[in-house]
Amino acid sequence: MNPLRLTIPEIQEKFKNQELKPSELMQNSLNAIKEKDGTINAIVRNRTESAMEEAQKCDEAFASGNADELGALAGIPLIVKDNMAIKGQEVTASSKILGGFRPPYNATAIAKIQSAGAIITAQANMDEFAMGSSCETSHYGPTRNPWNTDTVPGGSSGGSAAALAAGYAPISLGSDTGGSIRQPASFCGTVGLKPTYGRVSRYGLFAYGSSLDQIGPLANSVDDCATVLKAIEGLDSYDSTSVSAPIALSDKLESVEGLKIGVPKEFMDSSKGLRPEVKTLLEENLKALEKEGAEIREISLPILDYVIPTYYLIANCEASSNLARYDSIRYGYRSESPESLMDSYLKSREEGFGGEVKTRIMLGTYALSAGYYDAYYKKAELIRQDMRAQTEKLFEEVDIIAGPTAPDVAFKVGEKTDDPLSMYMQDIYTTFVNLISSPAMSVPCGLVDGLPVGMQMVGKLFDENTLFRTGKAIEKVRKWEPICDS
């Protein structure tokens, strides 16, 4: 079996027994990217030399028995989404406007995961500035789903998910503003976790929607997701929204005996776009959890009808503010023929941003403008407060909320690019989670038409352990295997 498909404990056991060297595993990772990525386009930048140098240092540590000093992820190859600052490395958020930009600092999550011993192999393609649900808006071209390269991998962390499905690395980092980790995880058959807002520092993450963004892990198992979360969580003086709420991982998180799982009737309503075959598969998984001792309850979450407009109003308003900083004066792309300073601003932003990003900036700017702020943004924030109140009340009755991650399996490349509303509706089950700041995880639960389907679980604030508990139970009953190597 491809060692890159093994779990973190399995890989490190091989390292300790000298059955496999970190440098050999890294070479496997780099070879896989070289062989497959011409078709998949999940990677925008390799770190070939530095990655091999770091792996060879790990070789020496494992050979001398000093590997414990390297951390819980010693020698593990890692793929990182192209919107997290890596000191001295070009990072562009897959946008033309940031071409050549090299941050002088590390994002906190990057610093922490490197301190835990993980080795960054490459940077993953993504929807430009994380704005998209299919990984088709990137300046570097669309990423394709390894399960079927005619289909998309989801977005915006499509490259991070596709890289795992293609077998480039055992773990990756993505960011989730409205489902950007969970939806690609569903489409590509991986586990994807959006932590509670504030559990992981956003310092060094290129902002899209500051009240919604959260860095999180993708992996081939729930346990590996939990291990990565443990490595990157924690209070950070550089991020005032971060919190100190250390998660205590347990080896005994498989049983769902007595767990109350709420399933919103609105989420299982086929008239809202849920594919019948996906619904049937989810119902089979819920019945399997019930046999394992969970209590399945039908609940109601009527906010679903307001989720998409509320999310896109708030996210686009925050994007308008956050992306105003890209003036092309201090760094990044600059137009070659401006006639004045103002013309330089206008032409550089016009030429540097892609169409989807410009659309969202304009929508957000309009909603924040004089005379429209109260009618749009303020109303959206009031609805957001109501969403939080509704879900808090539901969490008094149930331990988690479960349902589909996405309404269907991965769709064809180019199928929805000319239909923005259809594209936005791909996020119908995920965006409310970011609006209420809760943690949520997508776990593979089967196939429809040969493509993966994910089940989403939403938890109480800072209760990721219950998500891990339920996710491990799904892994037990489904006996999921990641995509086979060709």
CATH number at residue 176: 3.90.1300.10
Question: Per-residue pLDDT for 283 more than 50?
Answer: yes
Whether 219 and 225 have beta carbons less than 8 Å apart is answered as yes
Rounded to an integer, the average pLDDT of 288-300 is 96
Tell me whether strands 77-81 and 171-175 are parallel, antiparallel or unpaired: parallel
**Burial environment of residue 314 by CB neighbours within 10 A (0 to 12, 13 to 18, 19 or more):** buried
Nearest to 125 by CA among 209, 74, 188: 188
Q: pLDDT tens-digit profile of 74-123?
A: 999 999 999 999 999 999 999 999 999 999 999 999 999 999 999 999 99
Rounded to an integer, the average pLDDT of 298-313 is 93
Question: Per-residue pLDDT for 349 more than 80?
Answer: yes
455 forms beta bridges with 404, 443
Domain extent for 240: 1-486
What is residue 34's three-state secondary structure?
Answer: helix
Nearest to 301 by CA among 157, 458, 179, 161: 458
Question: Per-residue pLDDT for 250 more than 70?
Answer: no
Tell me whether strands 191-194 and 119-124 are parallel, antiparallel or unpaired: unpaired
pTM of the predicted structure, to 2 decimals: 0.96
pLDDT number for residue 50: 93
What is residue 284's three-state secondary structure?
Answer: helix
Question: Per-residue pLDDT for 252 more than 70?
Answer: no
Rounded to an integer, the average pLDDT of 149-163 is 98
Q: pLDDT tens-digit profile of 359-395?
A: 999 999 999 998 899 999 999 999 999 999 999 999 9
Describe the strand order of the beta sheet including 191-194 as a list of residue ranges.
43-46, 119-124, 77-81, 171-175, 215-219, 191-194, 440-448, 451-459, 400-404, 260-264, 295-299
pLDDT number for residue 486: 46
Enzyme catalytic residues: 81, 156, 180
Q: Mean pLDDT of all residues in the chain?
A: 95
CA distance 40 to 36: 7
pLDDT number for residue 273: 86
Domain count, the chain: 1
Q: pLDDT tens-digit profile of 263-272?
A: 999 999 987 7
| Percent residues over pLDDT 90 in the chain | 90
pLDDT number for residue 272: 78
Q: Determine if the peptide bond prior to 156 is cis (ω within 30°).
A: yes
Question: Per-residue pLDDT for 18 more than 90?
Answer: yes
Nearest to 261 by CA among 428, 435, 456, 452: 456
pLDDT number for residue 371: 86
Rounded to an integer, the average pLDDT of 276-287 is 96
Question: Per-residue pLDDT for 465 more than 50?
Answer: yes
